[in-house]
Structure 1
């Protein structure tokens, strides 16, 4: 446990990723914990608008944002470097993961070269501010599409389905997102869907907020918190790293990840949606399925297909 904790802490302290990755790597892979299939959502993450997953229709027409990216010669992507299987540093120091594969596909489509990316590692709470300030062109960081966020940023169509679930040490008396949380210290990342869920219904738990979701795993390993609430897709990667933790209960949301962009970058939104159309195409041989098998084989259940895109008029 001490070794696992030390490795995880080291990953949290890695510096901001710029054009060239630095050395470092994720903890060793451990036997995965099973992930339950999400039922109909019991709680909605602030969704009061209609069809939040509906995005602009895809297009390859170049606009001002695409022209600016091409002029710069680089796509600037806000990503995670601490989430195993999603955005993390592999043993040779390079960023890897399902989200990183999607960033590369976007860069290849716009710039003709998947390596023309500047990766900026940003904490959960800075995803929206980074877009609004123009520090990044896209955020591809397990970011749930919801109505509250749509007030501040634009999203692509959904590229992954997940659900909020509780991660605890094996042997814990916590049974899920229920009354067993009463009086227990529950960790979540600031600005996350989990924070909104516990604000809405805490079950008497004691909230512990951290900048990055992986910080919660460190605190759990140190015994500073009793449990974590996060996306089950993220938690499955953590359970694969540390066999002493497990997911409990059932997912209590159904939510979808999207690529986030500036609200004014409509040409980029349409272009990313075109990239995603191609990324999903091809059935079992699609780039989406290839990336899923590469990163989630034995960690998440076998995927049938990516989420179907939804579009709005205009």
Structure 2
């Protein structure tokens, strides 16, 4: 519990310099979206959102030039998700599976994995931060789906998780009617929030800005369960042995790097980095270090290109 609460209170913004904001590019809206993905809403989407093939366009255009001119990759991250994106209490530095990917991208574009300017963003603020160019990208356990692809461009998926119940209550067996009369916490703007809006099995939904706040509410007995990606839930169970994942995942949550719709060269550049990252051992090394003990048997998802 101490570790969880320690991480939770660190949810403050890491400020950006004015030069990052002044370099903002214009979001071209529908035109850029049409060039990124043909399916942009739930009604039209009949399969996974596909990303831009790095072999079919520039990987060193205006967006990459902007990052090089700034000298830093400005990235929206989480600092509260243990194993994924968190501040190491021993060093104060960002660490986790997502952070390893950030470093790989920075190394490829700028030649230095530490040439990163981190900005912590709440779940509900991720898309706004990208559209306004407060960040070059968000790497924050962000699920790729058709609704979000209407607003931001995604890389190919680098991990696949699923929504699942986290609880300490032995009477709760999963995302089912055992939630009737219970209080279920989820992060506003998350895919868990979307799923609960479809049907909460009689539970009262307790919304929070940052997902880790749910674990604190669970520990304070102000919530009975958490509905979140099992990848995040596994990290919380690692922090608190009194809680566990219950039932089975009820959704498929492919995580991708999110970028501005106009930054097509950056999307392709990130996809180029991820293609190498999956196959040269770095994905496996990061997974074994951070996730394998808690989410065994996972493999990098195959890239899906347009």
Same-fold status (TM-score > 0.5): yes
User: Does the CA contact (< 8 Å) of 1:79 and 1:122 recur in 2?
Assistant: yes
What is the match of residue 45 of structure 2? 49
What is the match of residue 94 of structure 2? 95
User: Does the CA contact (< 8 Å) of 1:53 and 1:158 recur in 2?
Assistant: no
- The answer as to 2:267 corresponding to 1:269 is yes
Between the two proteins, the alignment pairs up a number of residues equal to: 278
- The RMSD of aligned alpha carbons is 1.6
- The answer as to 2:298 corresponding to 1:311 is no
SS of 2:236 mapped into structure 1: helix
Report the alpha carbon displacement of residue 46 of structure 1 after superposing the two structures with TM: 5.1
Report the alpha carbon displacement of residue 299 of structure 1 after superposing the two structures with TM: 1.6
User: Does the CA contact (< 8 Å) of 2:143 and 2:255 recur in 1?
Assistant: yes
1:83 to 60, 66, 81: 81
SS of 2:248 mapped into structure 1: coil
What is the match of residue 124 of structure 2? 125
User: Does the CA contact (< 8 Å) of 1:158 and 1:256 recur in 2?
Assistant: yes
1:209 to 204, 207, 210: 207
What does 1:81-160 correspond to in 2, within 5 Å?
81-90=79-88, 91-160=90-159
Cα distance in structure 1, aligned partners of 2:104 and 2:197? 36
What is the match of residue 13 of structure 2? 16
What does 1:206-285 correspond to in 2, within 5 Å?
206-282=204-280
Report the alpha carbon displacement of residue 61 of structure 1 after superposing the two structures with TM: 3.2
Cα distance in structure 2, aligned partners of 1:235 and 1:48? 31
SS of 1:310 mapped into structure 2: coil
- TM-score when scaled to structure 2? 0.87
SS of 1:11 mapped into structure 2: helix
Structure 1, unpaired ranges of 5+: 20-44
SS of 1:186 mapped into structure 2: strand
1:287 to 277, 282, 290: 282
User: Does the CA contact (< 8 Å) of 1:47 and 1:148 recur in 2?
Assistant: no
SS of 1:247 mapped into structure 2: strand
User: Does the CA contact (< 8 Å) of 2:72 and 2:110 recur in 1?
Assistant: yes
User: Does the CA contact (< 8 Å) of 1:46 and 1:196 recur in 2?
Assistant: no
1:129-156 CA-to-partner distances (Å, cap 9, x unmatched) read: 1101111001000000011101110100
Cα distance in structure 2, aligned partners of 1:261 and 1:61? 14
1:192-245 CA-to-partner distances (Å, cap 9, x unmatched) read: 000000101211110110000000000000000110000001100100110000
User: Does the CA contact (< 8 Å) of 2:3 and 2:239 recur in 1?
Assistant: no
What does 1:64-75 correspond to in 2, within 5 Å?
64-75=62-73
User: Does the CA contact (< 8 Å) of 2:77 and 2:85 recur in 1?
Assistant: yes
1:4-43 CA-to-partner distances (Å, cap 9, x unmatched) read: 1x54233222232358xxxxxxxxxxxxxxxxxxxxxxxx
Once superposed, which parts of structure 1, at least 4 consecutive aligned residues long, lie more than 6 Å away? none
User: Does the CA contact (< 8 Å) of 1:47 and 1:146 recur in 2?
Assistant: no
Structure 2, unpaired ranges of 5+: 17-40
Report the alpha carbon displacement of residue 93 of structure 1 after superposing the two structures with TM: 1.1
- TM-score when scaled to structure 1? 0.85
